[in-house]
Amino acid sequence: KQVVLLPGDGIGKEVMESAKLVLNTVATEYGHRFAFHEHAIGGDAIDRYGNPLPDDTLKACHQAEAVLLGSVGGKKWDNLPANKRPEKGLLGIRKQLGLFANLRPIKSFPALEHVSPLKQEVISGSDILIIRELTGGLYFGQPSELRENGQAAVDTLYYQRYEIERIVDKAFQSARKRRKHLTSVDKANVLESSRLWREVVEEKRQQYPDVTVDHLLVDAAAMKLVTSPDQFDVMVTENLFGDILSDEASVLTGSLGMLPSASVRSDGVGLYEPVHGSAPDIAGRGMANPIGMILSAAMMLRHSFNMEEEAAEIESAVNDTLNEGYHTADLNREGGKLVGTAEMTEAVIENIT
């Protein structure tokens, strides 16, 4: 299996090492072979090649079956012009590989419920999958430019019906494998694109009569995520709403460093990355939480390589490790075992073998 590794910036490099070790363990245990090809992206690529997404990296990604990404960005590159920023590399890769579906699972780990900012009775039992459209909407719509000599600016929220159809299909299929409840989020009382979105969901639901569907306005969704996160199963929404809501949801459990994500297209090719950022403040100190990256590697095994058993093995090893009390510095656990990136990775590996 050909896997491109893009460690990127900050703690990205450190947690990528953890993912490699875990994947090598799985390879040995299950008799697979992963070929890793490492390339530059983001600020690191700007520093080395003057481009956040070098051609060489893009070419390697095009040839890969899956891409693992650490994290990109950092203060150092914040003042570069828009098209030279680290984020541009990320947006470029999503668009160019056609990774239209961003999957963001948010699950409260029983061992970690106490670290949530929410009361235990509010967060307990929450298990949400947010599916965000990733290659359309305001992120890519044209025109996006200054107007009238810099006295005005415009961005464009544009969706084609087929773009909505494919992400809505993905969402229905995901709901089928879970608790069969889909919540579609839009702003249909204001936006034309949201009304088209809602229309497509209404059409598609005929094909999935076993799935319960409801529509929620984005402002109401932002409220309900906080007041009753346990009421959601699968949530599907457009790019920018998904950006906001999935980040909001990611702090509900209090353990952002644990969360993985996948950006996939229909043929199984995908890019997998932890939800956390590059955390420049703790980079290079060996204290980053590698679990988000390790669980992203598990998502890769499941979605790109159809290795359900191997993915589940990693996930249960992570669970066991948490239950043993191991935690990194981002998680405050009285009486737990505080460890660094390497020891945490080692503990997970022990639970795999």
Ligand X SMILES: CC(C)[C@H](C(=O)O)[C@@H](O)C(=O)O
Q: Write the DSSP assignment of 38-64 as a string of letters.
A: E---HHHHHHHHS-SS-HHHHHHHHH-
> Which residues are CB-contacts of 102 (< 8 A; sequence separation ≥ 6)?
131, 132, 133, 134, 242, 246, 261, 262, 263
Which residue in the block uniquely carries the two structure tokens 């490699």? 20
Strands 127-133, 101-107: parallel, antiparallel or unpaired by DSSP? antiparallel
Interatomic CA distance for residues 58 and 253, integer angstroms: 34
Residue 155 binding partner per list ligand X, its own copies, none, with a CB distance cut-off of 5 to 8 Å that depends on partner kind: its own copies
Q: 350 labelled as ligand-binding?
A: no
Q: Pick between residue 142 and residue 189 the one whose CB is nearest to ligand X.
A: 189
Q: Pick between residue 217 and residue 338 the one whose CB is nearest to ligand X.
A: 217
The correct pick among 190, 285, 309, 312 for binding ligand X (CB under 6 A) is 190
Going from the C-alpha of 141 to that of each of 84, 136, 166, 194, 339, the distances in angstroms are 19, 7, 18, 15, 45
From 14-22, 84-92, 144-152, 201-209, span contacting ligand X (CB under 6 A)? 84-92
Query: Residues of 257-271 as b/e, b for ≥16 C-beta within 10 angstroms?
Result: bbbbbbbbbeeebbb
Q: Pick between residue 276 and residue 303 the one whose CB is nearest to ligand X.
A: 276
Q: 314 labelled as ligand-binding?
A: no
Which tokens is 340 given? Answer: 């660094």
**Catalytic (active site) residue 9:** no
**Contact track, ligand X, 223-262, x by CB under 6 A:** --------------------x-------------------
Which tokens is 220 given? Answer: 């109401």
Q: 143-172: which residues touch its own copies (CB under 8 A)?
A: 144-146, 148, 150-162
Minimum gap (Å) between residue 139 Cβ and ligand X: 7
Query: With binding defined as CB under 8 A, does residue 226 bind its own copies?
Result: yes
Which tokens is 262 given? Answer: 């996948």
Query: With binding defined as CB under 6 A, does residue 91 bind ligand X?
Result: yes
Interatomic CA distance for residues 134 and 65, integer angstroms: 19
Q: 85 labelled as ligand-binding?
A: yes
From 79-87, 302-310, 311-319, 322-330, span contacting its own copies (CB under 8 A)? 79-87
In the annotated binding site for NAD(+), the residues are 74-87, 277-289
Question: Which positions are annotated as active-site residues?
Answer: 139, 187, 219, 243, 247
In the annotated binding site for substrate, the residues are 94, 104, 132, 219
